[in-house]
Amino acid sequence: MRTFVVALLTLSAAAISAPAQNQDDASGSSRVRTVRSTAGAIRVQHLATLDNPYGMAFLPDGGLLVTEKPGRLRIYRNGRLGEPLGGVPRVDYKGQRGLLDVEVDPNFARNRYVYIYYSEAAESQPAGARDQGDPRFLNFVDTTDVLLTGGAVARARLDGNALADVTVIWRQVPKTIGRGHEGGRLTFGADGKLYINSGERMRFDPAQDSTGNLGKIVRINPDGSVPSDNPFANRHGWHTDIYTLGHRNPMGAAVDPSTRKLWIHEMGPAGGDEINLITAGSNYGWPVVSNGDNYDGSHIPDHITQQKFQQPAHAWIPSISPSGMTFYTGSLFRAWRGSALLGGLSSMALLRATIRNDKVVDVEKMEMGKRIRDVIQGRDGSVLLLTDGDNAELLRLTPAPSR
């Protein structure tokens, strides 16, 4: 769970810090290696093997909810990865689509609610659908994928080994044919509202379109209703759930517990990945401005050329392909306290961003040798990572013992 409300009420040390016997390692011996950082040597321990995982969130008892994009939701608890939970809605899984993030309600102890973000196919599919692609994406668009899909968020009650009372509380509007850029992250803010990262589905117009919620950070109440103080709640022609606009593919979000402010990051085009401080009603510029250019080399004006758009707190050139985000508050890595930790896909790294006065003043890159899909902190101060792919890992980071 990446929320301010429950960031410090998550992992029990007994549940994760000393895994007993790995489910996929009957001998009980764990695979361990060491990587280097400015905080010293880091011990990287394999905990479990997963199939295309995307997101994770802690339950109050220390169990770790983990999603797998093909449509499975599991719990890692007491050193073992459980069987898939029942009750997960039907998921459209292809490419970047599937079962994406999971989040736990701040009042879980009372209501047992969890939230999942997943891709769903439209009940009615258009006849003869075609996707012409876009030259700005070169060959990164699969034009044979013509299924009409969109992201959805469901709330459900965790009842033993299943989800019960599953209710869809939000959907991407409009659904689109094929492609990716789902975004798909869920975060509870310090205000108790649910924030949703909604990607622009690899299309250039929706991020600036006020009538839909693609390419937006969305803010809703936990029951799916729209807060009356949303910035566009009473503006004609605006989708009322919009909190900010002008986003491309936002794949990480976290609340800084020291300031109670929400931060997100998003993938840029060829260069220009961004980390942004989210402020109500702001426009972050995509696709009008970006610090990167299109894949075909066509130029996009930089943010600085149009001051009406919110400037990124930091931009990466070349790209790091960020995914997953948390703020570190633990004591095991004292040098990291207050920093934002980000996973890196193409960069195959864990990144640590030092933030002062709402600006990123330094970034440390720790080579992991694997694509990092998500990152979360345990109550004992360890850091857990999900790697990417069909033979992915749940990893635990702790300081390496001194010799």
SS3 76: strand
- Tokens 């011990």 appear where? 43
Give CA separation, 187 vs 3, 89, 198, 281, 325, in Å. Answer: 6, 20, 12, 18, 10
Q: Which residues lie closer than 8 Å to 130 by C-beta, 6 or more apart?
A: 143, 146, 177
Listed in order, strand segments (DSSP E) in 261-319 are 261-267, 273-277, 314-316
For β-strands 242-245 and 64-68, DSSP reports them as unpaired
Contact 206, 178 (CB under 8 A): no
Distance CA 121, CA 228 (A): 30
Q: Which residue in 181, 239, 303, 314 is the catalytic one?
A: 181
Listed in order, strand segments (DSSP E) in 141-281 are 148-159, 162-171, 176-177, 183-188, 194-198, 216-220, 242-245, 249-256, 261-267, 273-277
- Tokens 């033993």 appear where? 160
Q: Is residue 303 flagged as an active site residue?
A: no
Q: Which residues lie closer than 8 Å to 357 by C-beta, 6 or more apart?
A: none
Q: Which residues lie closer than 8 Å to 26 by C-beta, 6 or more apart?
A: none
Q: Which residues lie closer than 8 Å to 380 by C-beta, 6 or more apart?
A: 11, 13, 16, 17, 330, 332
Give CA separation, 111 vs 3, 118, 243, in Å. Answer: 17, 22, 26
CA-closest candidate to residue 382, choices 100, 68, 64, 4: 64
Residues 230, 236, 242, 243: what is their CA dihedral angle, to the nearest 10 degrees? -40
Residues classed as catalytic: 181
